[in-house]
């Protein structure tokens, strides 16, 4: 059985999320976009739509707890950060956008990972 550090587990989870997205037809635009008020793990594009993805990697199988970790406060930060990204990248001004959550579950006993993609996981949150 392999033991991963938290940072290794998160990196693997993010890499698997990107691999999953690309294999299902998305184009990678950016990873780890940071502003002082927040970070977006993965940004992809498909069919004139920009998708901002929050990746949650867990070593226990609780999808609901992983989804709950994207709290209202976190959604607010993601919305503000996404707006900043769109403002800084005028090539995406005419794109629609959405927020997805990708949960990567690690099964330590089997040393396997599974990826669950939740499209349109939440609506933009006003941050004023």
Q: Which domains does the chain have, with CATH numbers?
A: 6-122 (3.40.1350.10)
pLDDT (0 to 100) of residue 128: 58
pLDDT (0 to 100) of residue 103: 97
DSSP secondary structure letter of residue 16: H
- Both tokens assigned to 50: 């920009």
pLDDT, tens digit (0-9, with 9 covering 90-100), for 13-57: 999 999 999 999 999 999 999 999 899 999 999 999 999 999 999
State the Rg of the chain over Cα: 15
Strand order in the sheet with 96-107: 27-35, 38-46, 49-58, 96-107, 112-122
Q: Is the pTM of this model over 0.85?
A: yes
Q: Do 36 and 82 contact (CB within 8 A), yes or no?
A: no
pLDDT, tens digit (0-9, with 9 covering 90-100), for 54-64: 999 998 778 89
């Amino acid at each position: 059985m392999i033991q991963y550090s938290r940072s290794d587990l998160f990196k693997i989870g993010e890499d698997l999320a990107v691999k999953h997205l690309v294999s299902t037809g998305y184009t990678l635009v950016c990873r780890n976009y940071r502003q002082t008020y927040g970070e977006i793990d993965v940004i992809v594009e498909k069919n004139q739509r920009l998708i901002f993805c929050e990746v949650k990697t867990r070593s226990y199988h609780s999808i609901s707890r992983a989804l709950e970790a994207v709290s209202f406060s976190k959604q607010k930060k993601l919305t503000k950060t996404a707006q900043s990204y769109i403002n800084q990248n005028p090539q995406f001004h005419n794109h629609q956008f959405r927020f997805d959550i990708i949960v990567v579950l690690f099964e330590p006993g089997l040393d396997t990972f599974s990826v669950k993609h939740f499209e349109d996981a939440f609506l933009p949150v006003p941050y004023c």
